[in-house]
Amino acid sequence: MAGAFTGAVSASMLKSMGVSWALAGHSERRTIFGENDEYINGQCLKLIEMGMNVMLCVGESEAEYDQNLAGAVCAVQLKKGLNGVSKEDMSRVAIAYEPGTFVKQRCV
């Protein structure tokens, strides 16, 4: 594999450079690197613990979209991704809906 990859940097490196927002759950990381909801939850909790803000990305694959599972998939990703995030810390979280590759393929 060649190229730049979203998220290939540690939270402490980001913080040392003054970054205040970071992505967790980006579709590229879920697909290529196999990051699951539990791992993504750990990223969210770590970013918040370090005083940073997190953009939690959720979205279905093309196959899940075709099976009308978008809502269910996103609900699970939200529930698992935000597990343990306090009500107060939700002010540090933004949600990004990132549909699967179907958007690119069907809109061309």
Q: Is 98 a catalytic residue?
A: yes
Q: Rg of the chain's alpha carbons, rounded to an integer?
A: 14
Could you say which of 26, 35, 60, 64 is catalytic?
Answer: 26
In whole angstroms, give the CA distance from residue 23 to residue 57.
7
Could you say which of 35, 60, 64, 98 is catalytic?
Answer: 98
Q: Is 62 a catalytic residue?
A: no
Which residue, 28, 103, 93, is CA-closest to 70? Answer: 103
Active-site positions? 26, 98
